[in-house]
Structure 1
Amino acid sequence: MRVVSLVPSLTEAVAVTAPGRLVGVTDWCTHPAGLTAARVGGTKNPDVAAIVALRPDLVLANEEENRAPDLAALRDAGVEVLVTGIRTLDQAFEELERALGAACGAPRPRWLDEAEAAWAALPPPRAPRRAVVPVWRRPWMVLGRDTFAGDLLSRLGVDNVYASHAERYPRIPLDRLNAAGADLVVLPDEPYRFTADDGPEAFPALPAALVDGRYLTWYGPSLVRAPAELRAALR
């Protein structure tokens, strides 16, 4: 089986589960270290011709991370494309099993069982905190409704102020973010790289939780450690 992954999370999942299956990955695929597969461009601008030239049996994609026209072009070229849809932790576990079965033809990996157990073992959350969760600045964009990261945070006792917004990633002016009634700002280091010196200063009245974006937004082997890592960052 020759697999091209256009989703960093799925790249890591396949590479850890069945090394050697991946023949192409995106420029954003950083885990696990030492990937030797061909680079085929970004998640939003993959090189369709280069992918086709790799003669993949399957391309793994995601409805949010990849563009429909690129996936249609691959299908038109005769390439099989599996598109995942992941907006909750439960969907992540279901889609990972489906994608790995199609891409690897391997038994359910042990790390997936460990990830489910780690999340199931979470203690009851403390009194919920209301948070704004920026994912970009210039302009400011935050988590809105129906997001995977928002679902993870809710399981950790963090209520997203904009969880009922009509958009999934709304643009909200900074003055409105600061007046939204939150008692916490959660700042991941991806897709925008928020740091201690770039982000917290915009929310002077709120405590800031800087979190590793891989544990908040990736679905794959990182889910094993994500509950503990996120709990520690959100204290």
Structure 2
Amino acid sequence: MRDDLGADVPLAGPARRIVSLVPSLTEAIAASAPDRLVGATDWCTHPADLDVARVRGTKNPDLAAIRTLSPDLVVANQEENRELDVRRLREAGVAVWVTRIETVEEALASMARLFTEALDLADPAWLARAWSLWATPAPRRLSVAVPIWRDPWMVVGTSTYTDDLLTRAGLVNVLAHLDGRYPTVTPAAVDRAGADVVLLPDEPYVFTADDGPEAFATPTRLVSGRLLTWYGPAMVEACAMLAAIDG
């Protein structure tokens, strides 16, 4: 058994005690096999009633606490988690499955593999629904820019799950040509890029009506950061949210 990066995952059978270091994967597992999830990060906020042991953050997980939970699998992500933590867990004899997700198709395929190979479960209903909703890209209809941080201002760039999600929803990311996956820009540069609308998510930076819109001459919309960046059940909700965005 190998993860998305081709690393061996030494599982003797279906994973039944899982620690998730990725909020979106936590939600996906909790929605499909809640009895198997025994630990998650402090940032794992969905579902709201999630009642499992907490193992600190995605970038600074408590490795000792994870080992104490005796998981037969830890799930991680190449972008969200540190290779050092993954290596230390593996050196301690803990099986780790690392996902690599930069497109909608990769998200769907990666989660399907995780459920069928590591958990020995059929695709959950939400995953089948997500496959159906995102199978056919929508026609291009609007151009957008998506800041994700301020001080410094950073935006969604190319080779990211969010960029591909926007494209499939018919929204053209006007800053995808910049170098880097999350390039640093100025609000003036965002305005000059000519987007129809600037989407301001509530995570990782919490943009609000009083914090963010004032920086841009371009019209802005406050949107759910979870629906823009989380793969999993959020993909079903994201389709309707993005379809409702207009200029």
| TM-score bracket relative to the smaller structure | over 0.9
Q: Which runs of 5+ in 2 are unaligned?
A: 1-15
Percent of aligned positions with the same letter in both sequences? 56
Answer whether contact 1:14 1:103 (CA < 8 A) is retained: no
1: CA distance between counterparts of 2:136 and 2:26? 26
List per-residue Cα deviations over 1:123-175 (Å, max 9, x = no partner).
x4353x33221000011000111010111111122211221222101111233
Matched, 1:180 2:193: yes
Q: Which runs of 5+ in 1 are unaligned?
A: none
Output the TM-score relative to the length of structure 2: 0.89
After superposition, the CA RMSD in angstroms is: 1.5
Answer whether contact 2:126 2:233 (CA < 8 A) is retained: yes
Aligned to 2:86: 71
Matched position secondary structure for 1:125: coil
Aligned to 1:112: 127
1:195 aligned partner, one-letter code = T
Answer whether contact 2:140 2:172 (CA < 8 A) is retained: no
Answer whether contact 2:158 2:180 (CA < 8 A) is retained: yes
Aligned to 1:135: 148
User: CA offset at residue 182 of structure 1?
Assistant: 2.5
* Large movers: runs of 4+ above 3 Å: none
Answer whether contact 1:209 1:234 (CA < 8 A) is retained: no
Matched position secondary structure for 1:227: helix
Aligned to 1:227: 239
Match 1:153 to one of 166, 178, 187: 166
Matched, 1:209 2:210: no
Output the TM-score relative to the length of structure 1: 0.93
Aligned to 1:46: 61
User: How many aligned positions are there?
Assistant: 232
2:62 aligned partner, one-letter code = D
Aligned to 1:95: 110
User: CA offset at residue 219 of structure 1?
Assistant: 0.5
Match 1:8 to one of 7, 10, 23: 23
Aligned to 1:166: 179
Matched, 1:125 2:139: yes
Matched position secondary structure for 1:107: coil
